[in-house]
Structure formats: C-alpha cells, structure tokens
C-alpha cells in the first residue's frame, strides 16, 4: 500500500509553521498547483503570493525544503 499524495493544505500548513518558526510575518492562504501529478517533475506547485516579499533568501530556502518534502501535491482548497 502506498502513501497518499499530500495536498495543498499540507504544504500551506508546513510553510506557515516554518515561516512562524523563522519569525517571518507571512502566512500563506493557498498555493498554485498544476492540475495533474507527474513523477518526472521535481514539484507541481508554486507560491506566487510571496513573489514580492523582501526576505527572498529565507523564503527560497524554505520553499526548497518544502518542495523536497512535498514534491507532488493535489489541490485542496484551503478555507479562509
């Protein structure tokens, strides 16, 4: 039996936890997920909400770690 594919909710929760731990003021509401999973790609999601944030070095480090942990995810709407 294989593990379930994580959802966008898992990534949002992980990133928000990591940003809080690093003292960053950002909280993600949702991520952009491609409509399909392809095991040949490193990741099928992105966080355009953070594109203009000034702490890009820290944010990129956290995104790299999250993409390694959650390379392929399924879309699941995050309640507002």
Name which of 34, 32, 16 is nearest 24 in CA terms.
16
Q: Parse the chain into domains and list their residue ranges.
A: 8-69
At residue 43, the pLDDT reads 84
Model confidence over 19-59: pLDDT tens digits?
A: 999 999 999 999 999 877 777 767 889 999 998 999 999 99
| pTM of the model as a whole | 0.83
Name which of 50, 17, 18 is nearest 31 in CA terms.
50
Please tell me what DSSP assigns to residue 74.
B
């Amino acid at each position: 039996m294989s593990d379930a594919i994580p959802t966008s909710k898992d990534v949002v929760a992980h990133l928000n936890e990591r940003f809080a731990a690093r003292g960053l003021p950002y909280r993600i509401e949702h991520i952009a997920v491609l409509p399909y999973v392809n095991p040949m790609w490193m990741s099928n999601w992105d966080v355009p909400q953070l594109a203009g944030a000034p702490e890009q070095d820290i944010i990129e480090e956290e995104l790299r770690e999250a993409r390694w942990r959650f390379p392929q995810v399924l879309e699941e709407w995050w309640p507002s």
